[in-house]
Structure 1
Amino acid sequence: MDINNEIIMNTVKINHNFDPSKFKWLWSKYVKSFNDGNHCTKCLRGKYSRKFSKKSNPNLANDREISFDEERDYKAIYLCGVFKKGYKKTNYPHNVHMAILPKPGHKDKMVFENWIVILEEKDAKRAFIAFNIVSICRFFNLVTLWIKTLFEMQG
């Protein structure tokens, strides 16, 4: 699959049990490209989802099923949750980072601490997820390096 040229026509759907009140930030982004000249969310080029967003969707806690249908030409979906408790000092092992890539005929489920994400559509898979890396930003850097590598491999 060429992730640089393929346009996703099907909608990725997830079911989740995130409690936005437990997170400082909880958001997702439709990733179209990658720029390693920037840090954090700015390295992931694309639009933010308004549906899976603590800031944009005040009903996110009750909207358990999310259809990622706001964009059509993304290559991946990135979910990020920065845990509120211990913010800036001890929250890193509890932060959520998840990349979802299209893959026809695949379903997946992620369980981490108390959080569950189930990919309901047949056109997506959880491409990468890892936790418990405690150094500041190291985990985000690992995920974004992985996404960048995918773009370069397909490039």
Structure 2
Amino acid sequence: MSLVLNREQLSDYLVEVFPQVEKDFVIDSLDENSITMRLKVGDRHLRPGGTVSGPSMFGLADVSVYAMILALKGRQSLAVTTGCSMDFMRKPDGANDMIARCSLLKLGKTLAVGDVLMFSEGSVKPVARATMTYSLPPAGSAAAAFG
């Protein structure tokens, strides 16, 4: 499947519909098979002990899969998260940004499933892995016309 939105168009759209995304998340790279996103780690993302919080990592995984769906489906897609499974494997470094590498395992008419590996910038060892499931609105529905 080819991209409907390029990196710049996707970034602009995310800021338009979710302005809060701009201060926290950046698209590092995008192609038809994957997206790499960055969480700009700040004090608001840390929990005691200087580690990145679980909710912050969930947010990174969630926005990564959502962005990949939008890149392939376009501005018309109002996907909603219906499931998440996360494994936390090691302590993330709160002094560095978090990097997420996301690919879609399935992109159907009504369901999308994405896989996300998250790393502390500069490390090759993943700190977390998430599998996210999204419900996609039926074609022609009011929800599909969002945007």
Shorter-chain TM-score tier: 0.3 to 0.5
Q: Which has the higher helix share?
A: 2
TM-score, scaled to structure 2: 0.35
TM-score, scaled to structure 1: 0.34
Structure with more relative contact order (C-alpha pairs < 8 Å, separation 6 or more): 1
